[in-house]
């Protein structure tokens, strides 16, 4: 991995460090900590068997290509299962590190108590590592608030304890630029109308699945103060740079969540 996939290698090392820090705050036992760090180092071994072209940043995956990405935890688990010294707890954590509490993860769509404790830590650690690499602390905080139904709350709190204080927004840059509810409002308002046009007598599991995901994101957005009504009430070009910066971060994260949902639906 170090010689052929340098970015994946560094990501794995960062995961070990971040997972250990979270585990320390959760008071894991010595054996749990060893299994957690082994799982963190090994969870993405399956990606060594994925075409590097599919993993390039910005590449849009098409059709069956998505299955290749979703299978990597299974591949990692299969590789490690052939090594007798790897404990079962570490194997389970590797297999489930992309599962989410609300059942929206993969490869098994496992939810709630069915997700191993170490896998929950890995899920938060990996999410945090990616966000901290790409975004500032304000965006990080917003994203975790919006994902609290999907990720373990105790692990999220542990990550917050590791973060430095957030810097104030740059007042020279207008934070309200690009802040618009258009696309988000179209999804939230358009879905009930679309449901009325669908033959509800034939409603089955996929329709209920999509509906529940959309309403879940809508609820999270409103809890974060992001709605067309609220944006109309405030002056984003006024003095509240903090509010504008946070709302912009919320908008960007909601749009990313909608893109993830489209991926998941397909």
| Residue 141 CB partners (closer than 8 Å, separation 6+) | 160, 166
Exposed e or buried b for every residue in 231-251, given b needs 16+ CB within 10 A? beeeebeeebbebbbbbbbbb
pLDDT in tens, 164-204: 765 555 545 444 555 666 777 788 878 888 877 776 655 56
pLDDT for 93 equals 98
> At CB < 8 A and 24+ separation, what contacts does 132-137 make?
135/249, 136/166, 136/167, 137/163, 137/164, 137/166, 137/167
The CATH class of 6-162 is mainly alpha
- For 82-181, where are the alpha helices, taking DSSP H only? 88-96, 117-134, 137-146, 153-162
Q: With 60 as the cut, is the pLDDT of residue 206 above it?
A: yes
Percent of the chain with pLDDT over 90: 35
Closest listed residue to residue 261, CA positions, set 155, 148, 104, 90: 104
pTM (2 decimals)? Answer: 0.74
CA-based radius of gyration for the chain: 20
pLDDT in tens, 208-262: 778 888 888 888 787 776 776 666 665 655 556 666 777 777 777 788 788 777 7
Every domain of the chain and the residues it spans: 6-162, 182-265
Lowest mean pLDDT among 35-39, 81-85, 236-240: 236-240
Average pLDDT over residues 16-38: 97
Half-sphere exposure of 75 (CA within 13 A, CB side): 13
Average pLDDT over residues 156-167: 79
Closest listed residue to residue 106, CA positions, set 150, 62, 144, 146: 150
User: Nearest 5°: phi and psi at 209?
Assistant: -65, -50
């Amino acid at each position: 991995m170090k010689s052929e996939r340098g970015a994946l290698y560094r990501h794995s090392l960062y995961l070990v460090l971040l997972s250990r820090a979270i585990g320390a705050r959760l008071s894991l036992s010595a054996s749990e900590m060893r299994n957690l760090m082994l799982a963190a180092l090994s969870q993405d071994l399956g990606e060594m068997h994925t075409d590097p072209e599919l993993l390039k940043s910005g590449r849009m995956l098409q059709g069956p290509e998505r299955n290749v990405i979703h299978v990597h935890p299974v591949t990692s688990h299969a590789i490690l299962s052939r090594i007798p010294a790897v404990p079962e707890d570490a194997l389970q954590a590797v297999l489930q590190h992309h599962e989410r509490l609300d059942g929206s993860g993969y490869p098994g769509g496992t939810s709630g108590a069915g997700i191993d404790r170490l896998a929950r830590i890995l899920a938060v650690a990996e999410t945090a590592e990616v966000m901290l690499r790409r975004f500032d602390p304000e965006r990080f905080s917003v994203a975790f608030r919006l994902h609290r139904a999907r990720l373990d709350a105790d692990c999220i709190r542990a990550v917050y304890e590791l973060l430095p204080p957030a810097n104030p927004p740059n007042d020279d840059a207008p934070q309200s630029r690009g802040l618009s509810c258009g696309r988000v409002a179209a999804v939230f308002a358009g879905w009930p109308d679309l449901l009325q046009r669908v033959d509800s007598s034939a409603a089955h599991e996929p329709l209920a699945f999509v509906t529940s995901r959309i309403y879940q994101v809508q609820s999270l957005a409103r809890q974060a103060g992001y709605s067309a009504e609220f944006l109309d009430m405030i002056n984003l070009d006024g003095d509240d740079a903090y509010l504008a910066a946070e709302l912009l971060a919320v908008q960007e994260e909601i749009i990313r969540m909608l893109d993830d949902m489209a991926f998941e639906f397909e």
